Amino acid sequence: MTETAVQTVTTTDIAVLPGTEIRTEPDLRQEIIPYQQADTSEQQEIESVIGEIDLKDRSSIMFFGSKTQEQMTAISEKMLEGVKNKDLGAAGSALSNMVTAIKGFDVDELNPNRKQGFFERLFGKAKPVVQFLNRYEDVRKQIDRITDDMEGHKTQLLTDIVTLDKLYEANLDFFHKLEVYIAAGEEKLRRMDNQDIPALVSNAEAHPEDMLAAQNLRDLRSARDDLERRIHDLRLTRQVAMQSLPSIRLVQENDKTLVNKINSTLINTVPLWKNQLAQAVTIFRMSDAADTVKKATDLTNELLESNAENLRTANAQVRQQMERGVFDIESVRKANNSLIETINDSLRIAEEGKVMRAKAEQEVKSMESELRQALIAAKARKDAA
- The CB density around residue 162, as the number of other CB atoms within 10 Å, is 14
Q: What is the SS3 assignment for 128-153?
A: HHHHHHHHHHHHHHHHHHHHHHHHHH
pLDDT the model gives residue 27: 47
Instruction: Tell me whether residue 214 is in a domain.
Output: yes
pLDDT in tens, 203-246: 989 888 889 989 989 998 998 998 999 889 888 888 888 888 88
The DSSP code for 110 is G
Instruction: Tell me whether residue 242 is in a domain.
Output: yes
Among 269, 349, 355, which residue's Cα sits nearest to residue 91?
Answer: 349
**Owning domain of residue 337:** 3-23+34-384
**Measured torsion, CA atoms of residues 132, 134, 140, 143, in degrees rounded to the nearest 10:** -90
Whole-number Å distance between alpha carbons of 136 and 146? 15
**Biggest alpha carbon–alpha carbon distance for the chain:** 147
Contact 14, 260 (CB under 8 A): yes
The DSSP code for 327 is S
pLDDT the model gives residue 238: 85
User: Could you say which residues of the chain have pLDDT below 50?
Assistant: 1-24, 26-27, 118-124, 126
Burial category of 76 from C-beta neighbours within 10 Å (exposed 0-12, middle 13-18, buried 19 and up): buried
DSSP string, 4-73: HHHHHHHH--PPPPTT-PPP--PPPPSSPPPGGGS-HHHHHHHHHHHTT--TT-HHHHHTTTHHHHHHHH
Instruction: Tell me whether residue 28 is in a domain.
Output: no
pLDDT the model gives residue 201: 92
Report the amino acid identity of residue 186. E
Question: Angle at CA 200, nearest 5°, toward 194 and 204?
Answer: 140
Instruction: Tell me whether residue 315 is in a domain.
Output: yes
Instruction: Tell me whether residue 58 is in a domain.
Output: yes
Among 136, 105, 155, which residue's Cα sits nearest to residue 262?
Answer: 155
Q: Which residues contact 163 (CB under 8 A, 6 or more apart)?
A: 82
CA-based end-to-end distance of the chain:
78
Q: Which residues contact 15 (CB under 8 A, 6 or more apart)?
A: none
pLDDT in tens, 258-280: 888 888 878 887 787 778 777 77
Whole-number Å distance between alpha carbons of 35 and 186? 8
What's the chain's Rg over C-alpha atoms?
Answer: 37
Burial category of 350 from C-beta neighbours within 10 Å (exposed 0-12, middle 13-18, buried 19 and up): buried
DSSP string, 13-27: -PPPPTT-PPP--PP
pLDDT the model gives residue 272: 77
Contact 373, 61 (CB under 8 A): no
Whole-number Å distance between alpha carbons of 169 and 1? 46
Whole-number Å distance between alpha carbons of 146 and 98? 7
Give me the number of domains the chain comprises: 1
Among 195, 179, 180, 172, which residue's Cα sits nearest to residue 48?
Answer: 180
Contact 250, 101 (CB under 8 A): no
Instruction: Tell me whether residue 247 is in a domain.
Output: yes
Instruction: Tell me whether residue 201 is in a domain.
Output: yes
Q: How many residues can be counted in the chain?
A: 385
pLDDT the model gives residue 195: 92
Instruction: Tell me whether residue 29 is in a domain.
Output: no
